[in-house]
Amino acid sequence: MNMKLELLVESLRKAPVIERGEYSYFIHPLTDSIPPLRPELLKEVCTAIVEAADFDVNYIVTMEAMGIHIGALTSQMTGLPLNIIRKRRYGMPGEIVLNQTTGYSRGSMYLNNVKKGDVVTIIDAVISTGGTLIATINALKMAGALIKDVVCVIERGDGAMAVEEATGFQVKTLVKIDIVDNRVKILKTLG
């Protein structure tokens, strides 16, 4: 395995940064498909996730939209089903509404088809404030699911610490970044 995550690190260093109100937002192929996401970058990231996470579970959970492509390839690599938390209401029996707040937005998401006793691993693209993951973990707990692991590709800010403080779950991340002088700075990588 390529634990150096060379493609991910290189692409993050090249990522442009824009301002969204008071929030400095990095634009990256993995999170925004700008520039288009190269298959070798996606494969490098998903290979690292498969090796870092506990996949002795019933299925993988991810969130729309940034987690879908990562979840889909990880599902393919592990042979596990994928459950996507969606941004639209379906009105299915047992649907759980998640109210999430990020560094630049607020909104509702919808969790479906989770039963008491389901064992899951959560994967996502980015954690910054932790708002989406806290809402996700709380919704899965409400549904009676058992969370085995939580993995995010990119960590920025204090979100991982906020998730641990709010939920007790430690978030594994592949790379930790910061925005310094309007550029992405790599702080650490897994391994």
Q: What is the DSSP letter of 144?
A: T
pLDDT at 140: 96
We report the CATH number of the domain holding residue 152 as 3.40.50.2020
Q: Which secondary-structure segment (H or E) carries 108?
A: strand 106-111
Residue 106 within any structural domain of the chain = yes
Inside any domain, residue 1: no
Does 33 map to a domain?
A: yes
Asked whether residue 138 is domain-assigned, the answer is yes
Structural domain range at position 141:
6-189
The per-residue pLDDT for range 84-120, each reduced to its tens digit, is 999 999 999 999 998 866 555 678 899 999 999 999 9
Residue 17 domain-assigned (yes or no): yes
* Alpha-carbon distances, residue 43 vs 49, 145, 151 (angstroms): 10, 28, 16
pLDDT tens figures, 29-46: 999 999 999 999 999 999
For residue 67 the two structure tokens come to 């987690």
Which DSSP state fits 171? Answer: P
Give the number of domains in the chain.
1
- Give domain status of residue 54, yes or no: yes
pLDDT at 20: 82
Amino acid 106: pLDDT: 73
Task: Give the whole-angstrom CA distance, residue 115 versus residue 117.
Answer: 6
The b-or-e profile of 149-165 (16+ CB within 10 A means b, else e) is bbbbbbbbbebbebbee
Give mean pLDDT, residues 159-186.
95
The string of pLDDT tens digits covering residues 175-188 is 999 999 999 999 99
pLDDT at 2: 42
Question: Is residue 86 in a domain?
Answer: yes
Task: Let me know if residue 29 belongs to a domain.
Answer: yes
Q: What is the dihedral of CA 13, 18, 24, 29, to 10 degrees?
A: -50
